[in-house]
Amino acid sequence: TELTFTPKTWAAARDTLALREQGEIMLGWWHSHPGKYWQRTSCAKCPPERRRVCPIARNFFSSHDENLHETIFPKAYNVALVVTNTEEGLRQALYGWRDGRVQPRGFFIQPHPDRFLEAIEAVAIPKTHETTCP
């Protein structure tokens, strides 16, 4: 399954912000990866211990994601959040600009201001999937 954001989509988002006249900006965007589904279909023959380390079970920023971010969100403060649904639960990763490239960024999920949570490590584009999961 693939979802495509067209130029018309982004124009509508910008027009909506302008119409609200609140001085808002588009800070970034988010999307999800159905890792649990991908694993059940493309990794069905892999043993469970191999599925746990499979690159598609981790967060990644695909070349399509990177192209969209470079085109629509070129400002230094623009970020992208990826939420991947894995067999172990939801995993989040944040990406943003560093040294002129889109790279994993650190972040914290803090539902309670008095309690800190550990950030989950983000992983770059999974080029090893074919060799890990035949």
What is the DSSP secondary structure assignment for residue 9, as one 8-state letter? Answer: H
Whether residue 125 is predicted with pLDDT greater than 50 in this model: the reply is: no
**Under 8 Å CB-to-CB from 13, ≥6 apart: which residues?**
26
Q: Averaged over 98-102, what is the pLDDT?
A: 92
pLDDT tens, residue by residue, 20-62: 999 888 899 988 877 667 666 776 677 777 776 776 666 778 8
**Statement: residue 102 has pLDDT above 90:** yes
Confidence at 3, pLDDT banded by 50, 70, 90: confident
Percentage of the chain modeled with pLDDT above 90: 27
